[in-house]
Structure formats: structure tokens, C-alpha cells
Amino acid sequence: MGVRTDRQPHVTMIRIERIELREIILPLADRFSTSAGAVDERRILLLEFHDADGSREWSECVAETLPTYAPDTVDTCWLAISKWIAPIVIGESFDSPDLVDAALAKRIRGHRMARAAVEMGLWALFARKSGVSLAAALNDKTRSPAPDRKPRSKVESGVAFGIQSSPELLADRCRAAADEGYRRIRIKIAPGADVMYVRAANDALESRIPLAVDGNCAYSLDNAHHVSALEALDSFGLSMIEQPLGHDDLMQHATLQRCISTPICLDESITGVERVAEMIALESARIVNLKPGRVGGFRQSLAIHDACAESSLPLWCGGMLETGIGRAYNVALASLPHFTLPGDLSPSARYWAQDIVKQPWTMDADGTVEVPLDRNGTGVEVNEELVDELTVRRLTLGQR
């Protein structure tokens, strides 16, 4: 099937016969540390969708082992998909991927990462069967006055560094990343591993590229030491301070944003388009980090994208240490017009000694990643032999 280049409506029906769940364990190239802890490997939940006509597509659930970032975990998502979500979609016919999230939302509250893994996979399958890239399928559903607008062919790549063992090591890694061409560096911080580390990174970069920090909810305005550190960080001219306060907070972030000039970026607090509206009303932050798995999938992501565009609110696509499968979904989303800041779209080799796609993601010398607009669906080919070797748990749902 060739790739369609037009943007005219094309009726495609998807009818899932079965979903195969896989849990794999994939070692990281380097330990990744945040305020919530450190990981050397990831338990990863993969889904393979089988359509009634024989079409297949893969997706990835971004949930972690422990509920430190979100309530969802690999185990809760496995349960939610197998017991509640898969029965809703298997055997049902959908003529638009928009309808999948609506069907799930009517019957399931929460479980956003589990719902996203299924909903986003059906978006990719819909794109594959329609003969278009996933980026083009998403682009068709955004609100825009320009009917000939197309997704970008390249997206800007940023890199995230976990908490390092010393400020000097962080400075060295920042210099190396700038030399490699990354468009933005984001460093994880925590109380006691913040001001000295940021000063070292800032001095090393010499304003060559934007520097951001991510607090992962580790700070509190009730702690004088935390407040002092946040005030000190405000003096470095950072591009953003991401989610320093509570994971579901909007009010305290609004208080902090009034006191500092550095833009606050919200991540964990943004679980849907309604939270964006509340954030704007309260002036809690000036930037949004959008992770499709966190908000329940692409339908909500598109609504957030359009709301940010209408409010001229800067937006970027965050990452969850995805494999090459999950990276394909983020790259497709980041190709939409209002993703105005570099996202967490690093090459496969940055995080994995060996990725599970046959052509690992790479970054060009100019710090960009190519969007596979000339390939149907996700645009990646899964190394199924490697996935088989890494699989520690497997379940088939639906007809064999």
C-alpha cells in the first residue's frame, strides 16, 4: 500500500480481532536518576493489534513499575487493558479513531495510560489502513484555517539528563550534548542537587542552547530551603522550571509563578484539556509539557494542542523513556504545528544499548529528528525476534 499525499477524508474501518500484550525488560544504556529514584532497566508493556483484515500495528504503554510519576503502573495497566479496556474495543467497528477514546471514556474512569496505549495504537492502525503516516492522520484532526497545512518533516530534539553524581559530570555531559547538536537540555533536580548543579551546567553551556530544569514535584512552598533554592534558580535565565511543586497542583504553582520571572512548565498537573483551561485561568504556568500517555491518548492530546494554540501557550512533547515504538508516537505528535519547543525526542542510542525497532531513531547534525511521513502508520518496523527474546509475560486477548 502506498502512502497517500492528499488530506481529503478517506473512510477506513478498523475492527480489532485480537490484542496481544507483552511485558519485556529492557536495560538502559545508563542509569537514569530523578527525585523519585533511579532505574537501570525498564519493565515495558507492549501491545500488538490484529485487525480483521490482517493488518497489524504495535503500541507501547508508558507506565512505570512503581506509581511514582502517575497512579498507573505496568501491572495496573496490564489488568485494566485485559479486564476492562480490550473487551470494549475487540470486535467493535470504528470508522474514525476519534470514537475510540469516547467509547472508553464512557465506561472507564482514570487508567489514562492504559487507555492511551489502546487508543493510540488504534490511531496508528487507522493510519496504516488509510495509507498515510500517523503524523498525517493526526494533522487531519487539528483545528486550522489552512486546509493545505502539513505536518513538519523534522522535529527539534532535546535531551534530558537525570541527576548526576557531581556538578562537574553534569557540566561535561551538557557540553557534549551541545556539541552533538541538541536544541535544548533539560536536567532533573531535587532539593540538595539543584543550585550548584544548575550553575555548573549553565556555566558550561555559556548560553549556547536553552537550559531547563525539572523538579518532578520535589519542592514545597512550605519549606524555606526549597523556596530559597527556587529563588536562586530564577537567577540563571532558564528557559523553564518544570513542575517543581505538587503533582496535581495548580494554585501553589500560580503563587510561585507570580514571584519568579522564569516560566513555569506544567507536566504532571496536566491530565486533560480541562486542566489546561484551569491553568490558564489561574496563571499557574506559561508552558505545557504534553505527554500523550499521561492525558489518555491522542484525542485529548489534540484538544490540548488546539487549546494551547488558541491561547498562544508554548507547547512541547515530553517523553517517558520510550522504546523506538513509543518514540514513533511522540515524533508524530510533535510534528503538529503548535509544538513550538524542542521535545524529548532523543535518538535511541541515548537511552538504549539496543532498541527494539529495526531502524533505531537517530538525530541529524542540526539537532532534528526526521518524521517518517513517507511510511504508513508509525513508520517503524519492530524487531519481533528481539521482542520475543525479551518477553517475560504474554497474553492474547480476543480470537486467535
% helix / strand / coil in the chain, to the nearest 5? 35, 25, 40
Known catalytic residue at 188: yes
Catalytic choice (106, 141, 150, 188): 188
CB-based contact 170:194 (threshold 8 Å): no
Task: Name the catalytic one among 83, 106, 154, 291.
Answer: 291
Q: What are phi and psi of 139, to 5 degrees?
A: -60, -35
CA distances from 136 to 62, 131, 140, 190, 334 (A): 23, 10, 6, 39, 12
The separation between the first and the last C-alpha atoms of the chain, rounded to the nearest angstrom, is: 25
**Rounded CA separation 136/151 (Å):** 6
- Cell digits for 152? 513538519
C-alpha span between 236 and 201 (Å, rounded): 10
What gap in Å lies between CA 289 and CA 292, rounded to an integer?
10
Q: How far apart are CA 33 and CA 37, in angstroms?
A: 6
Q: Answer whether 16's CB lies under 8 Å from 51's CB.
A: yes
Residue 221: partners with Cβ closer than 8 Å, 6 or more residues away: 227, 245, 252, 255, 256
Whether residue 291 lies in the annotated active site = yes
Nine-digit cell string for 35: 527525585
Question: Cα–Cα distance between 322 and 307 in angstroms, integer?
Answer: 26
Asked if 330 contacts 357 with a C-beta cutoff of 8 angstroms, the reply is no
- Where in the sequence numbering do the catalytic residues fall? 188, 291
